[in-house]
Structure 1
């Protein structure tokens, strides 16, 4: 259908801090959302509905029934089809606003692909639940001077902060070291939907401010919320840059330049799964694998992934070479299953 921006975005343009000029800037802007789960689905929804001209959505996972309570873009059909979240999100959002470009990327962000996936944009939005990836985002953002907005939500707690390279503290200034252990996750302590929407909506608002150039309204705080007890805390971080910060102070992008000598098996945070990530991209031949795996289990397939249920374990194969072994957190067992059914 023919679309008139003056009609579609009329209420947003009536908001004086954006107005027609700001809307034109949004339409010319490019954003990437890393993670299309709870936070990411809200973020992508706001960006596309608000008229950000190009939105790349990156996610490695697929839709499951347990996601539907809080991940707003997905439905039961997506879960039944085991749709990759990035693809399902793009499918929905293309029907919401066909005048903007939504690019789904079904992949895992790692040092080998982070720069290609996270650059060429005006802003990076954090929709992940993973500190390692946040440090990686921070390195890319600093190296390429791209602003980004951090966000996290679990249980009824959440926080966010906007990072403008070399103007504000970077993520590593605020959190010098990754937390020990895996900490609380949605899969271990739960999460309520409202805290997700609050945090992601604040993140999206910060993104709009940055994209329209509302410099007088940039948020100088690390904001924290606890919705069940109605608590809100602001920590002023405006003067929090650390001269000795390895990232923004010394230019040592340790997470981006991390060694990738070996293939990686990683226990999925808070989930009964181990993910295999190859050290270099490789393409899985679904036809070939399906023929082999049908001899040992029940196989389901869609254009993005192949699932093989073998006894009480499930192998999920992605075209980019990743394999998720569900039903175990034992890396030794996962390596054995991978070698047995996929290859050495």
Structure 2
């Protein structure tokens, strides 16, 4: 039997979909989650319960910030490929401790376990938020990312640097993925698509930042998954074009790469709201609020490198994605 693939954050939004896809493709998967209460745990439990019946899936409940538990996991299963999606999400600053524990200590435990476990490829979640105060659009992996404007973004930037150092020091092949505003069925309740849909369905107010004149590169979850499963089979090597005197942020002499995964087609939040209204058959009760700290006015992904290297780029339209999400929402909430 081939070595199982480890997926961390398997009860989370993206992790759940990745595990489903890998199982459908015939892989054995070990899925790990700590079930932190960042949002309603019942949704995480429901996701995990849908994975449990598969005889090629093994679910583990553990905290990756515990180095010994992580070492034990790797010693027991001998993973060759790891997809690390577990993290404390969200750009809104509330409490710094969970970000430090999950995104820094947890990631360090993962790097150490991969190093000592001779993992052949670590694919890990970064975020479009690392672009921070950058004003050049679209955001490219070849741009610098030295000005994060949220603690979450700072931890994701740190993850990229940590992975690069392990690739340089120990030859650990790793690929960081900068996700752009992911949405879809089984999504996170704290994100705009779910939050707006839930409030409009219940005829409650929605808080709309900057009068809705905010643009996001909304990316449907199936497109994210497609990028992940293609890239996990493509471990990077040192880029022969790397120039130590004129380093490019997207290239490295070490086996480490970073890719954007986004729809490359920003949509205004006002249009998002209109599509949700149409799908639900209800009008939103809007309340305008200022742009929250840590948010930016526009995101847009340059996916040239992704398209070149794996022959794929996200393309699901917002209309189609919202239709699928609202259909799932109605079924899940019996609405």
Indicate the TM-score class for this superposition, using the shorter chain for normalisation: 0.3 to 0.5
TM-score under structure 1 normalisation? 0.39
TM score, norm. by length of structure 2: 0.40
Of Structure 1 and Structure 2, the greater strand share is in 1
- Radius of gyration: which is bigger? 1
